[in-house]
Amino acid sequence: MDHVMNTYSRQGVSIARGKGCLVWDETGRQYLDMVSGIAVCNLGHAHSAVVQALKDQAEKLFHCSNLYGIPQQETLGRMIGENSFPSRVFFCNSGAEANEAAIKLARRFCNARGKRGSFIITCDGSFHGRTLATMAATGQTKFRKGYDPIPAGFLTVPYGDIPALKAAVTDEVGAVMLEPIQGEGGVNIPPQGYLKQVRELCDDLGLLLVLDEVQTGMARTGKMFAYLHEGITPDIMTLAKALGNGFPVGAAVARPEVAEAFTPGSHASTFGGNPLAMACAIATVSTMVKDDIPGQAARRGAYLKESLEGLKGTHPALREVRGRGLMVGADFESDISFFPQAGIEHGILLNVIQGRILRLVPPLVISTQEIDQAVETIHTILREKGL
């Protein structure tokens, strides 16, 4: 690609179209998609409800400035609140923008109160985005290489470690920001009860709890939002990825009393909440609720994990299978960076993170037969590689 900046290690295939859990390249070759745009196309590719919503809206209005009312924003905001917690929403275009908005909202809220500082505690292994602020919040130094000076205002602690979190809290700290399950960090699941303990700590000390649900949200883990597994409520939640089932849309969702910290002119997004994005997101959320996509993700995820566990006896290099719903990581003893290319050769799209973890985040509409195909292909690749 001579005219595109070299910011991705691209696989040797160009995707031309998709339907459900399948995609086809420019030559017409078919692949089973176990990546879904990195946990984006949760309803599968070209879902009829989302496609129809996009077509209908495209014939009416693409864009309208946020200087005027956009009725679909109110509809989607209400739907998000009905399926999460009473809230107000700021709409944007991506997960990084949603997290940037959350960081700004948390700081503005803390500064307005004046009771605590506005530093934010995040976790080692986290990933919150590629803007300077979200990169500073990310607990992986590799993403910050070459970008000094890095914005200040963030402290990192080990993920899942309540004593370390408590010890890090000073008068300068006003919020805790974390992922219910770390995606890019390795599909890392914290100890049971961790989120509840973090919520209690924040309540005791007057801290805001910000949950990054960009990857875990929208039914991925078997519930509409991952925090629901522990029965807590965040002060701010961020969404993107699957919210529009592939159409770019992000959201920072906050309790009303926290949301009031944003006032006219304090934050904005030209394209955020545009009618096309709202139409796709409304169709996505409606379908997920109507078809009980969270329940389907829970059932299919359990089947996928069980099937992968069955490979352990044959492939000792497979150290652990972990995940929740259809957010699954297969952790190996050694480097498995060969998997994406080997997968393409076998007609399947696969993703490796941290060099040794096979991250499986297929569309939530995947069938058991397609899961069987994926696991059998993984077995074949491992056998060919002598693992």
Residue 116 scores a pLDDT above 90 = no
**Domain check: are 144 and 284 in the same one?**
yes
350 falls within a domain: yes
Say if residue 188 is in the same domain as residue 322: no
| pLDDT value at 126 more than 90 | yes
DSSP letter string, 88-131: EEEEESSHHHHHHHHHHHHHHHHHHH-SS--EEEEEBT----SS
The yes-or-no verdict on residue 326 having pLDDT over 90 is yes
For residue 365, give Cα distances in angstroms to 98, 138, 211, 299. Answer: 26, 31, 25, 11
Q: Is the same domain home to 338 and 273?
A: no
Residues 251 and 179 in one domain: yes
- Domain end: 271, 290, 309, which one? 290
Q: Can you tell me the mean pLDDT for 12-36?
A: 97
Amino acid letter, 94 = S
Active-site residue, selected from the candidate residues 33, 104, 109, 212: 212
Chain-wide mean pLDDT for the chain? 97
Which residue of the set 33, 124, 235, 241 is catalytic? 241
Q: Are 163 and 188 found together in one domain?
A: yes
Distance CA 227, CA 250 (A): 18
> In this structure, what CATH number is given to the domain that contains residue 306?
3.90.1150.10
| For the chain, percent of residues with pLDDT exceeding 90 | 97
Angstrom CA distances, 168 to 86, 102, 111, stand at 30, 21, 20
Helix (H, G, I), strand (E, B), or coil: what is residue 18? strand
Per residue in 215-245, pLDDT (tens digit) is 999 999 999 999 999 999 999 999 999 999 9
Quick one: 332 and 192 in the same domain? no
The sign of the dihedral angle between the CA atoms of 135, 139, 143, 144 is positive
Residues 267 and 340 in one domain: no
User: Is residue 187 located within the same domain as residue 237?
Assistant: yes
Does 210 reside within a domain?
yes
150 in any annotated domain: yes
**Claim to verify: residue 118 and residue 253 sit in the same structural domain:** yes
Of 290, 305, 336, which marks where a domain is finished? Answer: 290
Banded model confidence at residue 138, pLDDT cuts 50, 70, 90: very high
Which of 290, 307, 338 is the endpoint of a domain?
Answer: 290
Number of domains in the chain: 2
The verdict on residue 277 lying in a domain is yes
Active-site residue, selected from the candidate residues 91, 127, 154, 332:
127
Q: What is the pLDDT of residues 66-85, one digit of tens each?
A: 999 999 999 999 999 999 99
145 noted as active-site residue: no
SS3 253: strand
CATH number at residue 128: 3.40.640.10
Write out pLDDT tens, residues 276-314.
999 999 999 999 999 999 999 999 999 999 999 999 999
Same domain, 283 and 321: no
Domain hosting 278: range is 48-290
Determine contact, residues 211/176, Cβ cutoff 8 Å. no
The answer to whether position 5 is within a domain reads no
Could you confirm whether 212 is annotated as catalytic? yes
Residues 285 and 320 grouped into a single domain: no
pLDDT at 11 over 80: yes
Residue 38 lies inside a defined structural domain of this protein:
no
Q: What is the mean pLDDT of residues 145-163?
A: 97
**Residue 241 a catalytic site member:** yes
Does residue 1 register a pLDDT over 80? no
